[in-house]
Structure 1
Amino acid sequence: MTSEGIASNLVPDFGRYGIFCPLHAQDTREQADVAAEIEGMGYGTLWVGNSTIDNAMPLLGATQHMVIGTAIQSIWRLPAQETAFRLDALESVYPGRFQLGLGVSHPQAAADYRRPYSAMVEYLDILDGCPTSVPPLRRTLAALGPRMLRLARDRSAGAMPYLVTTEQVAHAREALGDGPVLSPELGVVLESDPERARTLAREAVSFYLGLTNYRKSWLRGGFTEDDMSNGGSDRLIDALFAWGSEQDISARIHAFFDAGADHLALQVFDGSGPGHLPRRGWERVSEMLSLG
Structure 2
Amino acid sequence: MQGNTKFLICSAGIFVCYFYFGILQEKITRGKYSYDEVEENGAITRVEERYTYALALVFVQCLVNYFFAKGMLYVKPHGEDTTPTLYCASSALTYLLAMVCSNMALQWVAYPTQVVGKAGKPIPVMILGVLIGRKSYPLKKYIFVMMIVVGVILFMYKDKAGSKQIDGGFGLGELLILLSLTMDGLTGAVQERIKAEAKPTAQQMMCGMNAFACVFLVVALLLSGELIKFIEFISRHPSVLSNILLLALAGALGQLFIFLTVTEFGPLPCSVITTTRKFFTVLASVIIFGNVLSGRQWIGAIIVFTGLFLDVFFSKGTQKKK
TM-score by length of 1: 0.30
Q: Greater CA radius of gyration, 1 or 2?
A: 2
- Greater strand content: 1
Q: Which has the higher relative contact order, 1 or 2, with Cα contacts under 8 A spaced 6 or more apart?
A: 2
